[in-house]
Amino acid sequence: MSGNLNSKLYTIIFEADTPAGKAFDVILILAITASVAVTVLDSVASLRRDYGPALWVLEWGFTLLFALEYGLRLFCSPRPARYARSFLGLVDLIGWLPTVIGLLLPGSHYLTTFRVLRVLRVFRVLKMAAYLEEARVLANALKAARRKILVFLLVVLTLVVLLGSLMYMIEGPENGFTSIPVAVYWAIVTLTTVGYGDISPQTPLGQFLSSFIMILGYAILAVPTGIVSAEFIRSETAPCPHCSGKGH
């Protein structure tokens, strides 16, 4: 009897090929969307002041629902430990655990917005396997370019430390560059062309250096894009050394 119940629950919860399984996933996606909306609304002070108790009840209602669902997944899974350690298993855990932790650490319940990751199941429900395949190709391109990107990041890190230290020597604390870490922060903001404007050079030499860093930033930002694009094109056009096929 228990085995039959496990099998039925597994079909409904983990599979989307049956009407019951598809209905379960659709209802789950709607509940996830609604729960994320509740968390977002709760972060608005005026809404929390006027509707705080109702939002609290809704949040705990969704938390208990997702906790029950997580328990059922563990119950009917043939390998509960493997499911719990999987990516979707961890995402399912985050779906309800932050609200409980919020009882001890106020504010941590806003992490429940990570529930939106569970909407990834929509790919399975709507039979969008082609999109998953495209995502796999992109992931493979990023994986192939990881060493080049790592070297690039190390070069940029070295560059911002050198430029930040140089700007600290030029401007000094009297112009807002109170330490080398602050100057490195300014170098990162400037090199990435973000430009918050909270710190800015005042001397002609500092302004000249900042202009050079801004121009350098445009050139640097193009490097990782080119690296990933080259790997993506190579994965699509180069034949596999094992089977001579393309696209993988």
Decide yes or no: CATH 3.90.1520.10 for domain 140-237.
Answer: no
In terms of Cβ atoms closer than 10 Å to its own Cβ (0-12, 13-18, 19+), residue 243 is: exposed
Q: Is the pLDDT of residue 184 over 90?
A: yes
Q: Which comes out higher in pLDDT, residue 30 or 126?
A: 30
Residue 167 near residue 209 (C-beta atoms within 8 A):
yes
Least confident of 37-46, 61-70, 92-101, 225-234: 225-234
Q: Is the pLDDT of residue 248 over 60?
A: no
Q: Which comes out higher in pLDDT, residue 135 or 166?
A: 166
Share of the chain above pLDDT 70, in %: 86
Confidence of residue 235 (pLDDT cuts 50, 70, 90): low
Q: Which helix (H) or strand (E) holds 127?
A: none
Q: Is the pLDDT of residue 243 over 70?
A: no
Average pLDDT over residues 206-233: 82
Q: What is the DSSP string of 20-35?
A: HHHHHHHHHHHHHHHH
Average pLDDT over residues 232-243: 62
Q: Over the stretch 71-117, which tens digit does the pLDDT of each residue have?
A: 999 998 888 899 899 888 888 888 888 888 887 877 777 777 778 77
Task: Please provide the average confidence, as pLDDT, over all residues in the chain.
Answer: 82
Q: Which comes out higher in pLDDT, residue 204 or 91?
A: 204
**Which tokens hold the place of 145?**
């370019």
- Predicted confidence at residue 144, as pLDDT, reads 76
Q: How far apart (Å, rounded) are the C-alpha atoms in residues 84 and 75?
A: 11
Q: How far apart (Å, rounded) are the C-alpha atoms in residues 88 and 173?
A: 49
| Domain boundaries 2-126, corresponding CATH code | 1.20.120.350
- Predicted confidence at residue 64, as pLDDT, reads 93
Q: What is the DSSP string of 179-229?
A: SHHHHHHHHHHHHTT----SS---SHHHHHHHHHHHHHHHHHHHHHHHHHH
Q: Give the N- to C-terminal CA distance of the chain in Å, as an integer.
A: 45
- Predicted confidence at residue 86, as pLDDT, reads 87
Confidence of residue 123 (pLDDT cuts 50, 70, 90): low
Q: How far apart (Å, rounded) are the C-alpha atoms in residues 240 and 228?
A: 18
CATH 1.20.120.350 range(s) for the chain read 2-126
Contacts of 232 (CB under 8 A, 6+ apart): 137, 138, 141
CATH 1.10.287.70 range(s) for the chain read 140-237
Q: How far apart (Å, rounded) are the C-alpha atoms in residues 39 and 3?
A: 38
